[in-house]
Amino acid sequence: MKIENVKEVIERYQLATPNRARVLVYIRSIMYTQLRNDKWTLAQIGKLFNKNHATILHGLRCYTLNIKYDDFKELNTRIEQELNLAICDIEPESKLQLTDIELDILDANNIHQFWEVKNKLIKKLSIK
């Protein structure tokens, strides 16, 4: 797992903030587990997320408790895919074949930007 991919996912979901929304807590615990499986130390993981080692340990325990639930498994799969695909280079020639909406989706880095793309698409469809 590349550190650039990890940092991009952390920035995209704003995981280094103290926000305790359930989905963010779940994503953090998934990320902690992925990094720990890649032999990262608790201190290294904590530094990346601006958390202490006890918080990382708690997140690792939460992962083992939550992985039995289907919705958590789905989120885990999605985050694993994002970690593997977070940074991908797209050839400029390939971008020329995309529509404006598709380019906007590729450029979106957080949920708010995706909502903006959705609203643009709704406006475009309602004009016709």
Q: Is residue 91 very low, low, confident or very high in pLDDT (cuts 50, 70, 90)?
A: low
pLDDT at 75: 93
Q: What is the pLDDT of residues 107-118, one digit of tens each?
A: 776 667 778 888
pLDDT at 4: 81
The answer to whether the CB of 42 falls within 8 A of the CB of 56 is yes
Beta-strand runs (E) in 1-128: none
- Residue 42: phi and psi, rounded to 5, are -60, -40
Domain 1-88 coded CATH 1.10.1750.10? yes
Nearest to 104 by CA among 95, 117, 88, 119: 117
The pTM (predicted TM-score) of the whole model is: 0.67
Nearest to 38 by CA among 84, 104, 95: 84
Mean pLDDT of 84-108: 71
pLDDT at 104: 81
CA-to-CA distance for 19 and 16, rounded, in angstroms? 8
Domain boundaries, the chain: 1-88, 90-128
Q: What is the pLDDT of residues 39-87, one digit of tens each?
A: 999 999 999 999 999 999 999 999 999 999 999 999 999 898 888 765 5
pLDDT at 126: 83
CB-count exposure of residue 35 (10 Å: 0-12, 13-18, 19+): buried
